[in-house]
Structure 1
Amino acid sequence: MAEKRKDSKGRVLKEGEFQRKNGKYEYKYTQNGERKTVYSWRLLATDKNPEGKKYDLSLREKEKEISRDLDDGINTTLAHQINLNEMFEMYLRSKKKLSSKTKAKYRQLWKLHVAESPLGLMAPGKMKKANIQHFYAGLSDEGLSDTTIRMYHNNLIQPTLVYAVDNDLLRKNPAKGCLDGYTDCKKRNALTREEQRIFLDFVKNSKYYNVYLPMLQIMIGTACRIGEISGLTWEDVDMKKREIHINHQLVYEKVDGKATLYIDTPKSESGNRTIGMTSQVRNAFLEQKALCIRLGRRSVVEVDGYKDFIFLNNWNRPYTTTGFNAVLGRIVTHYNKEEQKKAEKEKRKPLLLPHISNHILRHTGCTRMAEAGMDIKVLQTIMGHSDPAITLKVYDHVDNERMKNEVLKVEYVV
């Protein structure tokens, strides 16, 4: 019977384990017909790391991980052979429902900050959470906003690594939780009922801004994204059935270095949806149609086959995200200046409006629906959220008014 191999400390080595003359351990195994080897300066986790040598998992710890991967069919070979840039291309090619323009935009963003970075050139199989967090910290040092960093995480890096996990190239996603506790982002709060009332009343009674009232009522009443609202055509609205069909969005941004207006698919598959109209929303659509006739506004542009847009600016063109955010900014600034003057004259504290954006109006609409007790699954469908956790965050937000109303529901329980 052959004598069992032992290491320099007299410990019996398992099949596939060896110790070199310099003391380094190695383990040889086969995966998918390919011979592979891993190394470590320590056999067991309790062994002391040799002085001057880089700390690493012990050989037996690595063997345990390899055994789990083999048992579960995880093939990490490719994830160690290619870099994150190549994995990103594999992910994009797998997204058949993403439009070519969206893919071009994603590639442009990737090239801008990821492609030449150490993270982009790193093999996903060697990537740790700390590598990704270090990359995000670097983006912040370069002056990128917290919102932009979250966009890179949620739209590019995270889904690329999720793709690797889903296709058994990685056991776990190193990007998971990388932004936990990342609290620098400005939180978008919905308008309170009082702020919403003040805002809409000011617009309604303003000779400058009252033309925006129907659009604002529809934005809040449907909680749609601004791209979905600005991309609406009269063909998408069924006044008899009281239905709004959301199946595209209007985008205005740089493509191949040139600012372009184009039609894109909704943000996710769940973005394709049909939303019912309340009476107020239906009336707002009727008022919008009458408004365009009164002002002589007529849709004159055709974008990727879409025409007869509902919401038009002074140049008879649909609104862009940036353009309508600028409108909202002017409304809030004008109101706050007038309110400060009134409050000073009446010797009272002014009721000022906070910053309002397109997204805040969407969040406000969603919050009003949640406050009304709408079923969360219905609300998720209306919002077009692919992840119910996003919708749940609306239910997690409780202001004093909402809390008092909820408490009244159980007034006679005891």
Structure 2
Amino acid sequence: MAEIKTSDAKLFLIKLQQDGRGSSTVKTIRGVLRPAFQMAVDDDVLVKNPFGFELAGVIVNTEHTRQAVTRAQMNSFLKFVRYDNVYHKYYDVFYLLFHTGLRISEFCGLTLKDIDLENRIINIDHQLQRTSKMEYIIESTKTNAGTRKIPMTEDVYQTFKRILENRPTNLPEIMVCGYVGFLFRDKKGMPEVAMHWEHRFNHAVKRYNDIFKVQIPNITPHGRVIIRTS
């Protein structure tokens, strides 16, 4: 502990972000380490707390202000997607992101075992990430409350049923950290990640705003899609 310098602490946090951790995760880790090292300073074990610096100048803030859409905007956007010649193939996923509250990384991590059609339950206990080194990893949900079982409404049930019925059977089943049977895969059988759906979502929103005079916010499934009820 006594050998850890401020530069070491900064490099450690920078490396966490380079490996795919979001700024909020890095802040949480630093929030645990700083008071622990401060105790060592208070007990005269250390002269200086290596984690006592301002974090803003060390890592990039990847948090985005959540933009909400009204229910009317959601319905209008989904109707556009459903009947658009290009984006209609993404309708089911967009619908689920709006109506389940799933984070995009949680959705990408869903496997066949997580979709219980018999009991109409979605099991959420992990998320799929791809690191800056293009490595696929499985992580636990962000908080204990993130591990949950979501009941399906009739529409959500029918949407998942369509997805499972149309899931290609001629692609490889790639295992990631012991998980296999991902709902959406690319041509090589690798599970699709958040970036794929963020791009599709953003392009669909841009197309919608190019056509209609009444614009919708630049909503994105980076975290959860938020519906404003007021």
- TM tier, smaller: 0.7 to 0.9
Task: Write 1 or 2 for the structure with the bigger share of helix.
Answer: 1
1:259 alignment partner, SS class: coil
The residue type paired with residue 275 of structure 1 is I
Deviations 1:271-297 (A, max 9, x none): 32222222221111011123325xx66
Query: In the alignment, what sits opposite 1:160?
Result: 33
Residues 368-394 of structure 1, C-alpha deviations (whole Å, 9 max, x = no match): 6xx5xxxxxxxxxxxxxxxxxxxxxxx
Q: 1:268 aligns with which of 115, 118, 143?
A: 143
Q: In the TM superposition, what are the counterparts of 1:189-204 in structure 2 within 5 Å? A: 189-204=67-82
Residue in structure 1 matched with residue 210 of structure 2 by the alignment = 337
1:110 Cα deviation from its structure 2 partner = 6.8
CA RMSD, aligned part only? 3.6
* TM-score (normalizing by structure 2): 0.75
Query: Structure 2 CA distance, aligned partners of 1:290 and 1:152?
Result: 37
1:354 to 208, 211, 217: 217
Contact kept in structure 2, 1:231 and 1:248, CA below 8 Å:
yes
What SS does the corresponding residue of 1:214 show, helix, strand or coil? Answer: helix
1:300 paired residue number: 173
Check conservation: 1:225, 1:358, Cα contact below 8 A. yes
Counterpart-to-counterpart distance in 1, 2:13 and 2:7: 12
Q: Are 2:163 and 1:288 aligned?
A: yes
Task: Kindly state the Cα deviation for residue 331 of structure 1 after the two structures are TM-superposed.
Answer: 0.9
Q: Is the 8 A contact 1:158 1:175 kept in 2?
A: no
Q: In structure 1, what is the equivalent of residue 100 of structure 2?
A: 222
Q: Distance in 2 between matches of 1:228 and 1:279?
A: 21
- 1:323 is displaced (CA, Å) by 1.6
Partner Cα separation in structure 2 for residue 281 and residue 175 of structure 1: 47
- How far the C-alpha of 1:326 sits from its partner, in A, is 0.9
Instruction: Note the 1:45-60 alignment, pairs <5 A.
Output: none
C-alpha distance in 2, partners of 1:198/1:264?
A: 34
CA-to-aligned-CA distance 1:245-296 (integer Å, 9 cap, x gap): 1122111113xxx321122222233332222222221111011123325xx6
Using the aligned pairs only, state the percent identity: 24
Q: Give 1:169 deviation, angstroms.
A: 4.0
3-state SS in 2 of match to 1:211? helix
| Conserved 8 A contact 1:251-1:264 | yes
How many Å apart are 1:201 and its aligned residue?
0.8
When normalised by structure 1's length, the TM-score is 0.44
For residue 385 of structure 1, what is the aligned residue in structure 2? none
> Structure 1 residue 314: deviation in Å?
5.2
Residues 221 and 281 in structure 1, CA contact (< 8 A), matched pair in contact too: yes
When residues 194 and 319 of structure 1 are mapped into structure 2, their CA distance, relative to the original with a 3 A threshold, is same
Return the alpha-carbon distance in structure 1 between the equivalents of residues 66 and 217 of structure 2.
11
How many angstroms apart in 1 are the aligned matches of 2:122 and 2:24? 28
Aligned with 1:191: secondary structure?
strand
Q: Contact between 1:211 and 1:291, CA under 8 Å: does it hold in 2?
A: no
SS at match of 1:359: coil
May I ask how many residue pairs the two structures share in their alignment? Answer: 216
After the TM superposition, which residues 155-194 of structure 1 pair with which residues of structure 2 at under 5 Å, given as runs?
Answer: 155-164=28-37, 168-169=39-40, 187-194=65-72
* Larger RCO: 1 or 2 (CA < 8 Å, sep 6+): 2
Q: How does 1:48-197 map to 2 (within 5 A)?
A: 83-84=5-6, 108-109=15-16, 150-151=23-24, 154-164=27-37, 168-169=39-40, 187-197=65-75
* Secondary structure at the counterpart of residue 122 of structure 2: strand
Change in 2 beyond 3 A, CA 1:270/1:297: farther
Q: Deviations over 1:183-223 (max 9, x none)?
A: xx752212221221121111111232122122122222221
Aligned in 2, Cα 1:229/1:337: closer, same or farther, shift over 3 Å? same
Deviation at residue 232 of structure 1 after TM alignment: 0.5
Do the aligned partners of residues 333 and 107 (structure 1) sit closer, same or farther apart at CA in structure 2, a change above 3 Å counting? closer
Q: 1:111 to 1:316 in 2, by over 3 A?
A: closer
What's 1:240 paired with? 118
The 1:82–1:177 alpha-carbon spacing in structure 2 relative to 1, beyond 3 Å, is closer
User: Which amino acid is the alignment partner of residue 173 of structure 2?
Assistant: V
After superposition, the Cα gap between the structure-2 partners of 1:313 and 1:152, relative to the gap in structure 1 and judged at 3 Å, is closer
